[in-house]
Amino acid sequence: MSSIGGIGFRIIPLPDLTHYFLEYDEWLASGFHGDMDYLVRGKEKRRYFPEWANSILVCRSFYNDFSWGDVDFEACGLIAKYAVRDDYHITLKMKIYEILLEIEPKAESLRYKIFVDSSPVLEKPVGYFAGFGFIGSNTLVVDSEWGSYFNIGGAFLSVSNFEPSNPVTAEACVDCNLCVKACPTKALIQPGLLDARRCISYLTIEYKGVINVDKARGMGNWIFGCDLCQEICPLNKRLSDQNLISYARAHLIAPPLDFLVSLDEKEFYKLFSGTPVSRVGYVRFMRNVLVAAFNTGDSNIFSTICFKLKELKIPLLENQIKELEESFYG
């Protein structure tokens, strides 16, 4: 595997993803995608590579530069590790451009199409075929040495000079289901099968409605994404704090809930500027802060945050408060 500026990459031939497409079709048919209708709309596009493509540049960037075990998060909000730093959709794409600039002089009439969660691509199977790791029980690509805290992106290429595809055949999850047990909302139905509708990442990022109290109870302090099924993995104990393309912003690691609810919309976008968090928007972020306050079990914190959010007179927040108040005080 080659590397440049903190990015590991490999150019591989177009892999046969037939098996993974069948699994993906079954997953969608089961409704596990929830309200993510764009996955259904883009299903057929995922099935085919560009006609002109002969290979794929596959890249990864690590972001495991701190441990949640070292963080005091009482009465604080938790944001997934990948999101407390510069947005990888941008930083990883810029690094891919750098790699393409290295490749271009050696390739005649290079044609390419970049993907970083921006195109309908099955990134995890592609990462598997690039030799980045095996697909683990938590449904993520897991490197047996460095774990699963990395983002995958790449580019379809017109060139035919590539490295042999070298998937990892050893699977370290065989006798381990710690991630399945660790999921508080039971989103991992069984090893390797995720019901996104129950997943904290889905609920805090993708879901646009009122979160019912039963699901809310399982969300704990998480206000954007979730790392529980990764943090519990023994293969993620080794921090990768060298050669990262973006480092965690210390002030975004477990910010206090009372501080977060004090933000107006302009302050929210300023605080999270350049991070993935800004993508969820102010209103849904405050809904997530409300759920985290509910889960503290502290009546002072919960009532204070309810009072402040009621002042905004936003229907989603008003309805979320009604959903939680009855259970909290009942």
Closest CA to 167 of 125, 139, 137, 138: 125
Radius of gyration of the chain (CA): 21
Per-residue pLDDT band for 242 (boundaries 50, 70, 90) equals: low
* Boundaries of every domain in the chain: 2-329
Show the DSSP H helices in 10-76 as ranges: 18-29, 37-41, 43-46
**Residues annotated as part of the active site:** 117
Q: What is the pLDDT of residue 190?
A: 94
Distance CA 76, CA 222 (A): 9
- As a whole number, mean pLDDT of residues 14-27 equals 94
Looking at per-residue pLDDT, the higher value among 250 and 106 belongs to: 250
The three-point CA angle 3-133-71 to 5° equals: 85
What are 309-324's pLDDT values in tens digits?
999 999 999 999 999 9
Instruction: Indicate the Cα dihedral angle 302, 307, 309, 315, nearest 10°.
Output: 110
Distance CA 237, CA 231 (A): 8
- Neighbouring-strand partners of residue 12: 56
Q: Residue 244: CB partners within 8 Å, gap ≥ 6? A: 6, 61, 62, 63, 65
Do 172 and 159 meet the contact criterion of CB atoms below 8 Å apart? no
Per-residue pLDDT band for 3 (boundaries 50, 70, 90) equals: low
Please state the pTM of the whole predicted model. Answer: 0.95
What are 147-177's pLDDT values in tens digits?
999 999 999 999 987 776 677 766 678 789 9
What are 191-207's pLDDT values in tens digits?
999 999 999 999 999 99
Residue 100: half-sphere exposure toward Cβ, Cα within 13 Å: 22
Q: What is the pLDDT of residue 172?
A: 74
Closest CA to 225 of 210, 240, 204: 204
Q: Residue 9: CB partners within 8 Å, gap ≥ 6? A: 1, 2, 3, 57, 58, 59, 60, 99, 154
Tell me the pLDDT of the chain averaged across its residues: 93
Do 275 and 308 meet the contact criterion of CB atoms below 8 Å apart? no
- Strand segments (E) across 40-180: 55-62, 78-79, 112-115, 134-135, 141-142, 150-157
Residue 105: half-sphere exposure toward Cβ, Cα within 13 Å: 4
Q: Residue 171: CB partners within 8 Å, gap ≥ 6? A: 134, 136
Residue 240 sits at φ, ψ, to 5 deg, of -115, 75
